[in-house]
Amino acid sequence: MSNLTSQAIEDQRNRGFTLLEVIIALSVFGFLIGGLLALLPWGVEGAGNVRDRNIAYGLTDAVQVELELMGFGLIEQLTDKSDGEYPSINLVASDDGSEVYWEPSSDQKSDFPIASSKATALDKELPEGYRYFLIRCSQFPEDNRHEHDPSNGYLGLQVDVQWPYKTLDAEDGVEERIRSHFHFPLAITR
């Protein structure tokens, strides 16, 4: 009897998986791996979005510095809303956010001589396809507590950082409706 029991135990140890068991195990494994691989692009895209958002948050100091280099008087003129419109100053930055530059509009180039030289320097420093962040700075609307009053010593601006602005594969830029945005208030002093 002992011999029979040890024979049954030995048969169980030598017995392998059946073909059906192997097929079921492989199909379960395939479904699990397929599900995990489906999440991979989402995770990579999410990591890129977090990186871009962190860079956008870090641009606040660089925007402040660029606006102060432009000068209070020029910014006040460029964002003057006396005709009822709310003009803005456009600044741009590369995808690493290392530098912020003024991107003058065609109206600004014709009205302000400094704008033409800034546009030429910008094209040399940061060509169009490398302008990843667009930063729009404009005055606060009327009846806002931060509305500009020429008698006080500061100019309050609302800043809208957008990305991606222009990329190498999009000649005319990326449509504004599909860009990500980050808004913050900013003040410069006389």
Flag whether pLDDT at 9 surpasses 70: no
pLDDT digits (tens, 9 = 90+) for 22-55: 899 999 998 888 887 777 776 666 666 888 999 9
Question: What number is the average pLDDT over the span 62-87?
Answer: 87
User: In the chain, which ranges are E strands?
Assistant: 88-93, 100-102, 133-139, 154-163, 180-189
pLDDT digits (tens, 9 = 90+) for 107-160: 899 888 899 899 999 999 998 889 999 999 999 988 888 888 888 888 999 999
pTM of the model: 0.73
Radius of gyration of the chain (CA): 30
Structure tokens at 93: 């930055």
Structure tokens at 182: 């980050």
Burial of 4 (0-12, 13-18, 19+ CB in 10 A): exposed
pLDDT of 2: 57
The letter for the amino acid at 120 is T
